[in-house]
Each structure stands twice: as structure tokens, then as C-alpha cells.
Amino acid sequence: MNCTRFASILLLAAGTALAQAPAAPQADADKPAPPPVIKSFDLSAIDKTADPCTDFYQYACGNWVKSNPVPNDQTRWARSFSLLRERNRYLLWQELDAAAANPTSPLQKQFGDFYASCMDKGAVEKLGLTPLQPAFKKIAGLSDAKQLPTLMSQLENDGTPDGFFNFGVTQDDKDSSQQIAVVFQGGLSLPDRDYYIVDSPRFTGIRKQYMEHVTKMFVLAGDTPDQAAKEAAAVMEIETALAKPSTSRTDLREPENRYHIYKVVDFEKLAPSFEWSAYFKAVGIGHFDTLNVATPDFFKALSGLIPTEPLDSWKSYLRWHVLHGQATHLQKAIFDENFDFFGKTLAGQKEPTARWKQCSSLTDEALGEAVGQDWVKQNFPLAAKASMDKLVAALEKSLGDDIKTLPWMSDATKKAAEEKLAMIRNKIGYPEKWRDYSSIKVERGDLIGNLHRQTVYERNYDFAKLGKPVDEKEWGMTPPTVNAYYNPSFNDINFPAGILQPPFFDFKTDPAVNFGGIGVVIGHEMTHGFDDEGSKYDGKGNLREWQTAEDRKKFTERTDCVANEYSGFEAAPAQADTPAQKLNGKLTLGENTADNGGLRIAYMALLDTLAADGKTISEKTDGYSEAQRYFLGFAQVWCQNQTDQSSRQAALTDPHSPGRWRVNGSVQNFDEFGKAFSCTQGKPMYPASSCRVW
């Protein structure tokens, strides 16, 4: 488990990412076709029948939204993110396919064989459930609940998914130079705890469908229908019992809620039914006397559950997590059933994604810094990196200027904020030093085995950090990734080469569109260092208050304004038997704050850039002023369509707002937008009063 906390421009990493349909390498492989060219600025996307002062998102994106329904193999389709992902994945596929056919280096041989093993449907079908049998045999041998620590360590040492909880190494929130052990809640299969505990027709129906799905999966694994139904009931009972004491996603956004240092002996007193010392020793991590028990209530409840649940129920639960955790990589019958529930029912995806796409993504996830080395050589020239460095410097200056002029902040807090800004590290494109995957054994025809060995490698890589100096140059995303992130413990902003492409970043377009695209992305990530969560960490990445008490009070008043505003936005409309789904302004607060701040400081940087070139914000291109092109460029990043099921799921699990509200919510809080489009104050996009943090 990697417990690193970081905020991203689109999706978060492990544990808090938008739960979409699982990876789908069982789909038939289509012949890949080059994706279309992505325009940085698209006049045809604009709906000129809409009033930009009433609904700017509709104005900027209306025609694109109308003409681009969600493809059958997707749950969300976005003009910039989805199209660029398709392009990057196609370029990645070209590299992987060539390496699988004719590798020219040991590195290419490794990732080419990994990709080939994923593409080999015949081998997957022939092996069937054979790769899971060693885990099933170990689980069947469980004769006493006291053996659970040994059993779970054995499963993890084999690279097999198990359940219960997550364990790994992370930075100490209050001493970012140290890396400590951490244990975190887990053990659920549905996207969120609410799916188990909320009493509503929608969730009651989903729970019923989930039980039916688990039953069918156990039948496919060899159970009789009666036995399968019994096992499914046990799984639901245990997962529900684990969901109840789980800390909500919203509460987990508060760093204090996930930081509880225990001595190992005291942790064993808190949760005595599981021999933690035996487990820690058996998984092979180094010695430690204290650890962060991120969610104590969960482990206290787990300890009470272990001796009270029948042993056969625990066996069913563990068998389920082994089966469910690998279902997307097994034979077609199991894959199809898994996709029918998690893809179609939960997310609204009509058909699986083509196998070549998913095998390309899977290889990138498994061996990203091996695959990425060739990818960046072809797709991220040094000139692009140099230009990005200049853009980042321009945004840093703008944020510094913004801090100086904040009306609500005292001089003492301004000084501390400026010091933190000066300490932010910038990572552009790809790591300075590539990871070494040579110890991972990769065999053609053995997809599950390759995944197991890669999982053990990642686990051991994580464990080896315990007690070691923090590697400040480490990355949390692979180079082809279309995303970016800020890490509060590192106090760094990270921009993979994958997002530093058109339409976000284009040498050939005007500054207004570039600043509206990648400029806002940069400003977004910088602002994360000063949002409701990031502002609790100092420049060294330590959880420490650096605002004065009065400034923190004013800050909270302003973030409450943002949270309340976004809680009024609708994520999904009412259906015949389902009420409308509103956003959770507290869950999305950090991202909304970053969107609002990023839009403001990128605009300031644009003004400086134009002034340096002797230009003004009012000069026109294609009938739009530079100011208007800036806001249109920003908005068109977020043009999207999304299935209703995915929208509702995202409202519970995704800390990012939908595209409509990332656009309208941001521009209505920035007066310069109303001025750019000559709006009358009082219009929805130019209100008399608005929310502002940064």
C-alpha cells in the first residue's frame, strides 16, 4: 500500500480514485486506429445560442457535448482528458506492440513480454482458475481464526489480493523526513461505505444485485448454487460490518483524522484478536516500535469481529477477495460476470474497452518507469520541458503576488505562505532517475503470475523505505499519465509528460489558450498547497499550523463559502425512482479551492506575459479577446459527458466536481470573467457577491 496523500487535477490515486468500471483485458482486441488530432481551442464546440453570462459551460461546450455522447466502452468522455488519454495510449500501444514482436533491449523484452502475456487470451482461458488454486488451498486450510495473521501474510507474500486492511510505509505527517509504518482501513468491494449502510431504494437495490453477483461468481469458481448463496451472504455480512466503523471519505480529508501514532504493543491492545507482531514479522518488513494507525475505530471493530464471525465465513470472505481482486484478468466467463455488475450496473458502461487498450494501460501501471523511458524520448522533447519550466516560474510569481495582496491575511501569515511557496519543488515530465524493475520475472503466457510477482516487487519496494531517508525525487505517476498532482508531505507539484501535450500545452497556440489550459493546471496544483488540507502542512511537508488563529478563522469562513456553494450544485438529475444527486461540497472542497485559485493566478500570469510582449488582454483573435479566449480555453478542458450511474457514484467517491461545475463554479467566483464577457452584475456567472480563498 502506498499511503502517500496527493491531490490531482482529475483523478486521485490509490484509495480515493473515481471508481469506474474495472480494467477489461477480456474484450476482443480491435485493430488500433490513430486517434484524432486534438485542437487546443475549438470554435465549433461553442454554443452561441447560450448566454455565457448565464451558463458559461453550456456556451463554451454545448455543441461539443451535444455531438460527443459517451462511447460504449467508457463511463465518462471528456474533450481534453479522454481524447488525450486515447492518443497517449495509442502511442504507448505502438511501443509495446513493437517490443512484444521485436525487442531491442532487455527493458523492451521485459515490458514487451508483460504486454504479450496480457494480450494472450488463449493462455488466460486455458489456465482458467489454476493460478488462484494455491491461494484457495491456503484459505481452505484455515482451522482457527488465530491463524489469520499467518494466512494473510502468506497470501501477500505470494502477491495475492486478500482483504481486511491496507499496510505499508508512508511519510510521517509530523516529521516529513521520516518514513513510518501505517495501517489503514480496507476490505470493501463496493465503491464506498455508503453502499453498505445507507437505507435508500437505490442502495438497497444495489446491495441485492451485488449479492446476486457474488453468488454467480462463486458458482463460476466451482460452488453449487446453494453453497454460493451461503458464501455470498457471509461476504456481505463481513463487508457490511467493516463498512460501519470505516471513516468516511469526507472525514479522511482532514489530516488529523488519519494520524494516530501507536506503539505496537498498544496497537495490539486496541485490536487484540489479530496478532499484529506475528503478521508484521511474517510479511518481511523491518522492525519498528511505533506506527500510524490511521483509522483506530476500524481496527477496534475488526478485532471484535474476528472471534465472533464463523470460521467458514472468514474463508468465504477471503476466497471472495482473491477471486474479485483478479477477476478482470481471468477467463471470459468470470470477466463477463464481473463486468456486468461493476461495469454495466454500477458505472453504466455498455461494453468492455478493447483489450489492446487495457493491456497497454496495465503494462504502464505495472512497469511505468520502464515503459516511460522510451515514451518520453518520442513524445516529450527537451524544448517542451524548458517551456514548461518558464510557465511554472510565471505561475509562481503570480501566486506570490496574490499572497501579497490578500485582504484577509495578516503579514505574519503572508510571510509564512511566501516561505512555503518558495520551498515548493517542481517535477516536470519524468523522474531524474528511473526505477529498476530487472528483479521482476516476466513470463509470456502467465498473466496472473506476472501480476503477482509485480505486486510483491511493489510491496517490497514500499517496505524497504521504512526508516530510510525520503527520496524527494520519487514520482507517484507514470510519464504517459494525463494528470498532475501536488503532494503535501513532499510539498511538490508534479506534471507527467503525458499531460504536457496539446490541448493542454501547445507551442503553436496563443498565450491565452495555453494559460487557460496548462496554466490553470499549474495554478491548480500550486493552490493545493494552500487549500483546506494543504494549508495544514508547512513548507517542509510537516503537519503544523502556520497561520495565526485569526487568519485560520478567516480562512475557514472562506472555505465554508466554497463548500456551501458547491453543495448546492447538482451532480445527477432526478430519475423516475431516484432523487437528484447533489455534490458534497466538503468532499470536493480541496479541488474546488484549487480550481478557483488556479484560474485566478493563471490569469494574472497571462497579464504579465502579454505585457512583457507589448500586448493587451483586449486584443482579438477569431473574434474573441485574449481574456475571452483564456476563459474559453479553460472551459473547454472540462467539456464532458458522463453516464448517470457514474455521475452518482462519483458524487460519493470523487473529490473532483463534474466538468460543468469546475467551469461555472470557478468563473462565477472571478469578477474578471464577468468583465471579459460584458456581463451585467447579478447574472449567474457574475454575481454581486462570490467566494474567494486565494
Q: What is the pLDDT of residues 300-314, one digit of tens each?
A: 999 999 999 999 999
Q: What is the mean pLDDT of the chain?
A: 94
* pLDDT number for residue 497: 96
13 pLDDT higher than 60: no
* pLDDT number for residue 39: 85
CA 284 from chain centre, in angstroms, equals 28
CA 114 from chain centre, in angstroms, equals 24
- The CATH code that applies to domain 144-151+162-329 is 1.10.1380.10
- Tens-place pLDDT, residues 84-113: 999 999 999 999 999 999 999 999 999 999
* pLDDT number for residue 17: 29
Within 13 Å and on the Cβ side, how many CA atoms surround 351? 8
Pairing status of strand 175-185 against strand 165-172: antiparallel
Whole-angstrom distance, CA of residue 36 vs CA of residue 318: 45
* pLDDT number for residue 385: 87
Dump the DSSP string for 492-552: EEEEEGGGSSTTTS-TTS-HHHHIIIIIHHHHHHHHHTTSTTGGGB-TTS-B---S-HHHH
Query: What's the whole-number mean pLDDT along residues 561-576?
Result: 95
* pLDDT number for residue 7: 58
664 pLDDT higher than 70: yes
- Tens-place pLDDT, residues 455-480: 999 999 999 999 999 999 999 999 99
* pLDDT number for residue 88: 96
12 pLDDT higher than 60: no
Task: Count the neighbouring beta carbons within 10 Å of the beta carbon of residue 127.
Answer: 18
Domain with CATH 1.10.1380.10 in the chain: 144-151+162-329
- The CATH code that applies to domain 381-428+500-694 is 3.40.390.10
Closest to 381 (Cα-Cα) out of 425, 427, 430: 430
**Cross-sheet strand order for the sheet of 485-487:** 7-8, 485-487, 492-496, 425-429
Domain with CATH 3.40.390.10 in the chain: 381-428+500-694
157 pLDDT higher than 60: yes
* pLDDT number for residue 249: 97
* pLDDT number for residue 576: 80
The answer to whether 167 and 182 have CB atoms below 8 angstroms apart is: yes
